[in-house]
Each structure stands twice: as structure tokens, then as C-alpha cells.
């Protein structure tokens, strides 16, 4: 579980996050949505300890984030940021191995190599293993980084702390096929009930289709949190996005249309 309590983050006099308290449970696909400037990426950075909140706290399981070392956190929590570029050429397999750096000091073990191979096969990039990362398309690079971050938490930790995967706009460079492919892969990962997945997405229909738990931010405030039926209401969508949606529900499916 990741829990935030009363998170407030400011830059000068501007409030970016205003008293945000949310809980992300293991086994659920937790998605954060909201318009541009809502505070989505800032919340992710606070959760990942990349920036410090002015007020409030974050907890991983029973541990307060402020009490965890960088090394401890890196062994259980992997982060995919929006920036996927590298400044120097590496083979794809070397990029994926970067995810295992927190787990060895000098050279990777067979266990590390196995984690990378299995993660690359999981995301269908194994055939690219020997390619130069710099020659890949944006979508291919994104899939390589999926393998990298998942390789980082491939094995359950010995301390039973759980595993945490945080994704900031992971679908940016992907075509429709690979967007759906990736979301289904996340659902496969979540069959391992100790994994907490938190992701930022823009597509409301993808959130409606795949999310177990949705957090809707608007102007730095928590507008709604809960199931898709609780969050993706006409009132909430109109408030956050200033659009009047047409919502179609059929059995367990929900679709949003805009005129």
C-alpha cells in the first residue's frame, strides 16, 4: 500500500498540491487523471521522494517514506518518468540491466540477468536485446523502459515490504495497439498481489476500461477518488475538464464521448 496524508506542495506562493490524502492498494490498477496543470506529475514525484512536500507524509506499507534510505527504496520501488532519452549509446539489454543496479555492487548475478531476460520477454523486446537503443523509435524506447523498471522489482523483496511501480504518463509514445498491450501487461503483473501500481494517464476511456481505482485531481485538489463509477461522473468531468460528457455504461464497460 502507498498512502499519502495531507500532502501540500508549493512553489513560492503558488499551491501545486493542496491537502491530498489518497491510498493506493496492492493488486489494484491505480490511475491518476486530471487536466493539464492539475498536479498529477507533482503528486507522483512526491510519492517517489523526488521532491519534498511542504506538509504531509507518504507511507509505503508500514514504513514512512521519510525514514527510508535511497538504497532501501530503490530495491522495492521502480519509477518510469516522462523522460526516456539517453545521452549515450547502449545496447537494449544494457538499458534494461540499469533496472537491476540497486541489487548488485560490481557486476550482475545470474539472478539479475534472468530478471532482465524475463522482463524483456514479458514486454516483447527480447529480440531487440542487442540493438543500439539510440536507433529505436519512441514507442520501442518506451517498451524497453517498461522492461527496465519491471526488471528492477522482478522478484519479491525478502523483507515482505511489497513492490511498487510508479508510472508517469507511460502511454505517451505508444500507438493504440501497444497502449492496450501495456495495460493488459499491467493487469498480468497485478496477479502478483504484492505489487502496487500507480500510473498517470490522460485517456479517460482507458482509465474507465482498466482502472480499479481512479484519483481525479483538479487545480491541485483532490476532486474525487474511488471506482470508475464514483469518479467518472458527468459532474466531475464537467468540473475538471469543462466539457459535457456523454457516458455510456454496459455491463462492466464504460465509454465517454464528447461533442
Q: Name the grid cell of 128.
A: 531487440
The structural domains of the chain, with segments of one domain joined by +, span 2-258
Q: What is the mean pLDDT of the chain?
A: 92
**Quick check: 99 pLDDT over 80?**
yes
| Cell (9 digits) for 127 | 529480440
Superfamily of domain 2-258: P-loop containing nucleotide triphosphate hydrolases (3.40.50.300)
Closest CA to 200 of 108, 80, 93, 110: 80
Least confident residue range of 85-89, 133-137, 200-204: 85-89
Mean pLDDT of 223-231: 94
- Three-state secondary-structure class, residue 54: coil
CB 57 within 8 A of CB 66: yes
The pLDDT confidence band at residue 256, using thresholds 50, 70 and 90, is: confident
Other CB atoms within 10 A of residue 29 CB: 20
Helices of type H across the chain: 40-47, 70-76, 92-97, 110-122, 138-152, 176-189, 204-210, 228-231, 234-241
- At residue 160, the pLDDT reads 79
The pLDDT tens digits for 38-64 are 999 999 999 999 999 999 999 999 899
Mean pLDDT on 132-149: 93
The grid coordinates of residue 6 equal: 495531507
Q: Which of 230, 150, 139, 232 lies closest to 197, judged by CA? A: 150
All cell numbers assigned to 211: 482502472
Overall average pLDDT of the 163-185 stretch: 92
Query: Does the pLDDT at position 97 exceed 90?
Result: yes
User: Cell numbers at residue 53, please?
Assistant: 512536500
Res. 107: pLDDT tops 90: yes
Q: Which three cell numbers stand for residue 21?
A: 490524502
Phi-psi region of 27 (alpha: psi -120 to 50; beta: other; left: phi over 0): left
Q: What is the pLDDT of residue 161?
A: 84
Q: Do the Cβ atoms of 147 and 116 come closer than 8 Å?
A: yes
Residue 38: its pLDDT value, please? Answer: 94
User: Taking residues 149-165, what's their average pLDDT?
Assistant: 91
DSSP H/E element including 63: strand 63-64
Q: What is the pLDDT of residues 117-126, one digit of tens each?
A: 999 999 999 9
CA distance 113 to 177: 29
Comparing CA positions, the residue from 106, 166, 173 lying closest to residue 144 is 173
Terminal-to-terminal C-alpha distance of the chain: 38
Residues 6+ apart with CB under 8 A from 87: none
Which residue's entry shows cell 483532490? 222
Query: What percentage of the chain exceeds 70 in pLDDT?
Result: 99
Average pLDDT in the 147-163 region?
Answer: 91
| pLDDT at 259 > cutoff 80 | no
CA distance 163 to 19: 26
For 18-31, how does the pLDDT look when each residue is reduced to its tens digit (9 = 90+)?
Answer: 999 999 999 999 99
Amino acid at each position: 500500500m502507498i498512502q499519502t496524508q495531507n500532502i501540500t506542495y508549493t512553489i513560492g506562493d503558488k499551491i501545486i498540491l493542496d491537502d491530498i490524502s489518497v491510498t493506493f492498494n496492492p493488486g489494484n490498477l491505480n490511475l491518476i487523471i486530471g487536466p493539464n496543470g492539475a498536479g498529477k506529475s507533482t503528486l507522483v514525484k512526491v510519492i517517489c521522494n523526488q521532491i519534498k512536500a511542504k506538509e504531509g507524509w507518504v507511507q509505503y506499507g508500514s514504513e514512512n517514506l521519510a525514514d527510508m534510505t535511497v538504497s532501501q527504496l530503490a530495491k522495492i520501488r521502480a519509477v518510469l518518468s516522462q523522460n526516456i532519452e539517453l545521452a549515450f549509446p547502449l545496447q537494449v539489454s544494457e538499458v534494461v540491466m540499469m533496472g537491476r543496479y540497486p541489487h548488485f555492487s560490481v557486476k550482475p548475478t545470474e539472478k539479475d540477468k534472468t530478471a532482465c531476460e524475463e522482463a524483456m520477454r514479458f514486454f516483447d523486446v527480447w529480440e531487440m536485446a542487442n540493438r543500439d537503443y539510440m536507433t529505436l523509435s519512441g514507442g520501442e524506447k518506451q517498451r524497453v523502459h517498461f522492461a527496465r523498471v519491471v526488471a528492477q522489482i522482478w522478484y519479491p523483496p525478502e523483507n515482505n515490504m511489497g513492490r511498487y511501480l510508479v508510472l508517469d504518463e507511460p502511454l505517451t509514445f505508444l500507438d493504440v495497439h501497444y497502449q492496450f498491450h501495456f495495460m493488459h501487461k499491467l493487469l498480468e503483473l497485478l496477479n502478483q498481489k504484492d505489487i502496487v501500481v500507480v500510473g498517470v494517464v490522460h485517456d479517460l476511456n482507458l482509465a474507465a476500461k482498466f482502472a480499479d481505482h481512479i484519483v481525479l485531481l483538479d487545480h491541485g485538489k483532490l476532486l474525487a477518488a474511488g471506482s470508475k463509477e464514483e469518479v467518472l461522473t458527468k459532474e466531475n468531468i464537467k468540473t475538471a475538464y469543462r466539457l459535457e460528457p456523454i457516458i455510456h455504461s454496459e455491463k462492466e464497460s464504460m465509454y465517454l464521448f464528447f461533442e
